[in-house]
Chains A and B, each alone.
Chain A
Amino acid sequence: MSDENSLKKALSDWEKGPVAKTINRFPEREEEFKTISGIPVKRLYTPLDTQTVDYLQDLGFPGQYPFTRGVQPTMYRGRFWTMRQYSGFATAKETNERFRFLLDQGQTGLSVAFDLPTQIGYDSDNPMSHGEVGKVGVAIDSLADMEVLFDGIPLNKVSTSMTINAPAAVLLAMYIAVAEKQGVPMEKLRGTIQNDILKEYVARGTYIFPPKPSMRLITDIFKFCSENMPLWNTISISGYHIREAGSTAVQELAFTLANGIAYVKAAIEAGLDVDAFASRLSFFFGSHSDFLEEIAKFRAARRLWARIMRERFGARDDKSCRLRFHTQTAGCTLTAQQPDNNIVRVTLQALQAVLGGTNSLHTNSRDEALALPTEESVQIALRTQQIIAYETGVGDTIDPLAGSYYIESLTNEIEECVMKYIEKIDSMGGAPAAIENGYIQSEIHNSAYQFQTAVDAGQRIVVGVNKFIVPEERTIDYLRVDPHVEEEQVARLKKVRETRDNDRVQETLEALKAGAKGDENLVPLILDAVKAYATLGEICDVLRDVFGEYKSPDIL
């Protein structure tokens, strides 16, 4: 840069001249500006801040390594991101109706929310399930429920994402079995299982088994899918819940990528070739309130993962280096106060995700800080995405903010901060060790506490919560799950147990037990049990018996 010195001088003149003069008369709002992650924000960014960027090495072209600008060559000029609203509640029948509604409204993918008993591998009649059946998602006890859930929905046409972790193999098996009944072979199925147990230990809490057997289940799925389900995303390595638990953007990326590293390592140790499975790994991030930091975060994520895969794991295939991700707007930024304001928050967060190059998106509904969303709220949320896609034109050119002095500099800084965390976690022995000693949990918790105390102290403004407050009656309409859902579901389950071939169930469960004790791939064994209508709880109990249950090393 021939004029570097003149630029430096001009900048300094500007700072000392007009800036100093203005500040003298009108001080700036803050002494120091920072992103939510605590990265200092300068008054102005100039070419001096992007001098180290080597265009070809650091940015490149969309669809090419290191994918900073996007994972596909044409991005949204070809096809918009997948609009995928997470939904599910009550029974399979009611959720099926909501799915059909969403598909009718122009949604392009399904995303299944399961209730907590399902996520933790309890049948609906387990005493631990009381009060939880059908509450935060749909209750699935056996293949019979899954058949109802996807009734009339052609599984060769939709892609389905399932938020299921500890018992992911069981739900995947049920999905395969339903598809088979529809005449759709598994190699044609498209979709995602979350299957990310490490973040359950640190942020979401729906774990069942200890880390070792959990990692085995995950690598069994990687292997099974690499042989049988080429279009299926075998895992969705999730930062979203880490973020919701209170982390900063930098921590969200660092801990998610550290978890990703642990899965790749485990799969390689289990004998898989990195290029055989890595292209089917997918990611899931939150889109929080710091607009520009979030955009930089998404861009940094792609570059970081590409480099990790190539440099650390020697992935040869470019596809193995692509970080494809789903985004959800941040639930924790929704306020119970003046809930309609949430529509605006969601709009901005959705726009961030699109400017950051997300591959699919869920927009939250305005009433989710209060209860489950109504159909009307869900529709507004979906419309928000459609307006961004069809009206604003932001998808007409790829990665439109690239080259912004600030965005590029922030992308670099996030990358650096994340690498520092990853190195620290490496030195502890990787993510599983850093989870076991409570490091990751306490980092997240400290950030959560700092954030809350900053809000309480008025240092961080949340509109309608600690500033611009109005007295209000909360009369918003919301969705209430019928308390009889639990009884109905338990009755259905009872009927399944009475009408199935119980000898066959026993037989398949015995085989699963033997397999779990040995080192056979468990997915085909689970598939047999599922087809015999063994329940989710029965299958998980067999595995609990062999693997034991995880006890949280929770450190406060």
Chain B
Amino acid sequence: MKGKPLVLAFLAVGFGETVSQVLLIRELMTNFQGNELALGVILANWLFLIGVGSWCAGRAADRVPVGLSAFVIIQLLFCLILPVQLFLARTINNLIGVQPGEMVGLLPILYSSFLILGPICVLHGCQFALGCRILAAGAETPARQVGNIYVAEALGSMVGGAGFTYLLVHHLHAFEIALVTILLNLMAALLLLRPWQQPEGLLTRSLVGPIILILGLGAHSWLSGNLARADQLSREWQWTGYNLVYHQDSVYGNIAATESEGQTSFYFSGLLALTSPDPDIVVVEEMAHYPLLSHPAPRTVLLVGGGIGGVLDEILKHPVESVDYVELDPLIIETAREYAGTEALDDPRLRLILTDARLFVRDARDEYDVVIVSLPPPSTLQLNRAYTKEFFQEVVQRLTPQGILCFGFPASEAYMSGEMIEHNRSIYETTRAVFPHISLVPGDWTVLLASPSPLDLGEIRQRFGERDLETRLLNAPYLEYRLSQERIERGLNLYQAEEGQINRDLRPIATYYNLALWNVMFYPAWGNVFGWMSGLNLGWVLSPAVLAVVVLTAMRGKAGGTRFHNAAVILAIAATGFAGMTLSIVLMLVFQIYQGLLYQRIGVLVAAFMLGLAMGGLAMAGSVERVRRDVRVLVSTEVAIIGYAFLLPFLVMRLPQIADLAPRLPREVPLTLLNCLAGFLVGLQFPLANKIYLGTTERGLGRVAGGLYASDLAGGVFGALLTSVFLIPILGMTATCLTVVILKLASLALLMGAA
């Protein structure tokens, strides 16, 4: 009777989980000017807290008789807490006493994301364990019921993710989206209680009132505009000390504009991106004029990012024929037009291209005399794509024989720390691996120029006189100082003194250096940890895995077969949680490299994984009760995951060839299918593991399902923390996949030992 509505309710739960995750994490990333490390910590926190909820609720659920009412109460709590947490997420900087504009280190990020995510995540974890317990109580096929819930939640997540990306974010602000989620969950709660059928029990009946009350309140606050006021108020608090004149969420992040004394400043996801009408004149003039003056007669220019920050205006001062300007987020251009009145955007020589820069450069046909990349340093895997050997190779293809690539990075005139030298040296070395001729203009903002033909920066001074440019900063004495042969050589010598690490698409080491540099700002003492971790190799994974297998197997005799057996199942699920997280991060990175960061495509990619997860769960849940030799089936799924992780790097390297096999197929199809398959394999295991565990233990179902879910998430926590910050940047994609292979081999060995 209660089965179907509860499974349906988990669609709402999964929807709520994903949407609240996106909403809260987006705000936290805006507040903390998030880099890859911050994102890893926030994600890990998220999974950890759900795991805690699930584990605790599972233990409690078996001891006290719980019914639907407990489940509905948790759902109600979720509905009440979500808007509060959203408000808190925006204003957390004020609460933890951070000065306006001040950046914070990892510890404040850790505890504030814990505070913000805690209540929501723990409730979600409880819902899962409780739902399993309720549904399976008295059921003949408990494992199958757990499987159904797992599937419903995965489907709900998929719908939530897709709905957010393609629909909600375009039409509603954050509080409205939260309300949609709440309404959905309340309706699911009503469906569960079935007030029209005169439910039994005082508690159950008395819950109907509050649900209807909250429904009414939600609808009223929306219609009366209170919701919009809450959105506005929390945004203003988020920007305490600033005069916020505009804010808007786009699919790529948050765009905000502040105004003061005739100056407008624009922030993309909390990062200061540009200031109008007076930008950082030193940076914009140097970034534009050095490359254009290095070229004897530049006609065609490609500008990647940062154009509306002033570089575009400077480029257009030259008699160039065309400027192609690539920017990812159309909303950035719209905002700049409206609030900065960037006139350069109306220049007839300008062609505006709204797409992913990597994608554009790869597919472009035109050739350019000058390519200027004006993006922030590689603090995320996403940004790192503009600093890799592969990207530079694509740029060379688009350069005329005398063409010049130009980009810049922060350095220091006074002192260069080891972290900063390593970061910059890696980028320098990567450029040198592709371009035979490199020169740079050292300074607090160092400008690097690279070309297939010899470069002579001395010509900049001469051409500056000839081209008669109207500049605010550049003049003959300034150029004489900045471009003195001695200074340039001193700068080059610094980077040439030692060999640097080459930054690759599939081994993005520059991101690691950037995070190390960021971290040392707050915790100088941790600098050694980052240095030490950079020696990471597969042996670090292999040795403990082998030892763990040996030791656990040796302990088997003492501990007894069943307990060992169950420990093996739990570890297998944890390793699968790790594998699931790591493989999705790998596929996300690979997808961005080959297909760009276009949200239309990334959304499909994420949904594909969730769909695979649901399909895997569904396939197994449907047949789990009929499976006899369940351990053997689990072993087969282990082998399948190992095979997948082992083959993935080979497939990824052959992706272009694979795409050529079926030229009519959209290029993103193979990767999307691969991601779906990864989800499928991971999804297969959960219902099966439940059945195996349940068959051998006297423990209640809530505890088993809750515990397994928690171990799945625990594996995910490690995946979130390690993969994007350490494994991929230091080891590279192939060895990261091999890490998964090693861990899964270890869990497989344990399972075999148990069977």
Q: Are A and B a genuine interacting pair, yes or no?
A: no
Residues of B whose CB lies within 8 Å of any CB of A are none
